[in-house]
Amino acid sequence: MLVNNAGIIHTGNARDLSLAQHRDIVEVNLLGTITGMLTALQRMNARGHGHIINVGSMTSFLPLSGYATYAGTKHGMRAFHHSVAIEERHGPVTFSIIHPPSTRTPMLEREMADPSAVIALAERSHAPEDIAEVIIDAIVSKPVEVVFPAVAGRFQRIVGVLPQLMHWAIPRVEASARRKRARLMGTRP
């Protein structure tokens, strides 16, 4: 069993991040996942069984301002994950990918502190234990892909597939999140 759950973010508009920050995100979120999958796959194939679970993000489907490189790595991770799963479909290893929403971790706290990442406040965040429960369920049921929560996740996937809808909806969601952030911080939007 491998659960690839490592991920980092440097929030901010793409133009404001250094190349080193962009590389950090790519190194951990994409290349780390690739390294983990390939290492585990070799060992699991040799043993004749195994299950690889990658933890993605709803940004795999819906790119967001303030998250350009993060979303790019999660898009790439999803593509790599499914490509390898298809290549290995006749082998002994099963593959699942899980896309959780905002999770109450120190990473989310940093996002909330950065006005460029205000969209992190747009949806209800979940406790790490909620995500762990979804992962445990995936260990047992071995789904191909899970969006969590199901209804909101499906809506986000649809918006992400339709660029015109995405370009219309995201600014409105950001405006709502800015108002929410201002209420939480006791400031004006």
pTM of the model: 0.85
Q: Do 173 and 66 contact (CB within 8 A), yes or no?
A: no
pLDDT at 189 over 70: no
Q: How far is the C-alpha of 164 from the C-alpha of 11, rounded, in Å?
A: 24
Q: What is the model's pLDDT at position 118?
A: 66
Of residues 132 and 108, the one with the higher pLDDT is: 132
Concatenate the DSSP letters of all residues of the chain into one string.
Answer: -EEE-------S-GGGS-HHHHHHHIIIIIIHHHHHHHHHHHHHHHHT-EEEEEE--GGGTS--TT-HHHHHHHHHHHHHHHHHHHHTTTSSEEEEEEE---BSSHHHHHHHH-GGGGGGGSS--B-HHHHHHHHHHHHHH--SEEESSHHHHHHHHHHHH-HHHHHHHHHHHHHHHHHHHHHHHTS--
Q: Which residues contact 87 (CB under 8 A, 6 or more apart)?
A: none
Residue 103 has pLDDT above 80, yes or no: no
Quickly state the pLDDT bin for 174 (edges 50, 70, 90): confident
Which pLDDT belongs to residue 179?
A: 82
pLDDT mean over 34-60 = 95
Q: Which amino acid, one-letter code, is at 13?
A: N
Question: Model confidence over 90-101: pLDDT tens digits?
Answer: 999 999 999 987
Task: Please tell me the distance from the alpha carbon of residue 144 to that of residue 139, in angstroms, as a whole number.
Answer: 11
Q: Which domains does the chain have, with CATH numbers?
A: 2-185 (3.40.50.720)
* pLDDT score, position 45: 97
pLDDT band at 109 (very low <50, low <70, confident <90, very high): low
Is the predicted pLDDT of residue 88 greater than 80, yes or no? yes
d(CA 154, CA 176): 20
> Which pLDDT belongs to residue 117?
66
> What percent of the chain clears pLDDT 90, i.e. is strictly above it?
50
Q: Is the pLDDT of residue 12 over 90?
A: no
pLDDT at 6: 83
Q: Give yes or no for a contact between 155 and 58, defined as CB atoms under 8 angstroms apart.
A: no
Structure-block tokens of residue 4:
């690839």
How far apart are the C-alpha atoms of 153 and 141, rounded to whole Å? 19
Give the whole-angstrom CA distance, residue 5 versus residue 133.
Answer: 14
The tens digit of pLDDT for each residue in 136-162 reads: 999 999 999 999 877 777 788 888 888
Q: What is the mean pLDDT of residues 40-49?
A: 97
